Amino acid sequence: MSTARLLLVAASAAILLLPACGKRTPKELLLSDGTQIILLDGTRAIPAAGFPSDRSLQLEGNGQVYIKTPGQEKPLTVRTGLLILTVEGDCAVRVLVSSEKIGEQAEVLSGHVRAAKAYPSRFSDPDDLQAGEMSMINRSIDLMEKEKFDPTELARWSQDVVAAAHGSSAK
């Protein structure tokens, strides 16, 4: 495994371990366009002031966010500290965000997502992601890499967090 790939995997693993540092009940947001957002581990989603005509939102915090969008003519733009995700049509995606802005990732359960760097880079080619594909980014080495994964576990995880959010009183 190359050093760059090892550093990217290490940054992604650090993001996945962040939730262990203080689990909170998932919180569900239902946006006016039908988009469902499940916030975990102290994350926040901030829709644009003109939402839904400006169909964009900002994700902040340290942890995981599940986004399920209904088919819409205009894509949803999701910004994190490191990524700009263009979520098209009927789509489900898990985003791992980090306020340290070292490493983040987006994992697609269904639909199509275009992942691009949110910062200037000499290597700025976006990743086009379909179901079972993810994009991992590590800013310290300016690397974004597309990988495949088995979406079975992500499907189970998404069902569990949606059920937990529906069971919580924090809506």
Average pLDDT over residues 79-83: 96
3-167: what CATH class?
mainly beta
Average pLDDT over residues 132-136: 98
Residue 21 has pLDDT above 80, yes or no: no
How many angstroms separate the CA atoms of 131 and 153, rounded?
Answer: 13
Burial 89-113 (b: 16+ CB within 10 A, else e): eebbbbbbbbeeebbbbbbbbbbbb
* Residue 171: predicted pLDDT: 40
Q: Which of 30-34, 98-102, 133-137 has the lowest mean pLDDT?
A: 98-102
Average pLDDT over residues 137-153: 95
* Residue 57: predicted pLDDT: 96
Residue 168 has pLDDT above 60, yes or no: no
In 3-state terms, what secondary structure has residue 47? Answer: strand
> Residue 156's Cα: distance from chain center in Å?
17
pLDDT in tens, 45-69: 999 999 999 999 999 999 999 999 9
* Residue 100: predicted pLDDT: 86
Question: What's the pLDDT band for 24 if we cut at 50, 70, 90?
Answer: low
> Residue 43's Cα: distance from chain center in Å?
11
Question: What's the pLDDT band for 23 if we cut at 50, 70, 90?
Answer: low
How many angstroms separate the CA atoms of 5 and 7, rounded?
Answer: 5
Name the nearest CA neighbour of 135 among 158, 115, 156, 118: 115
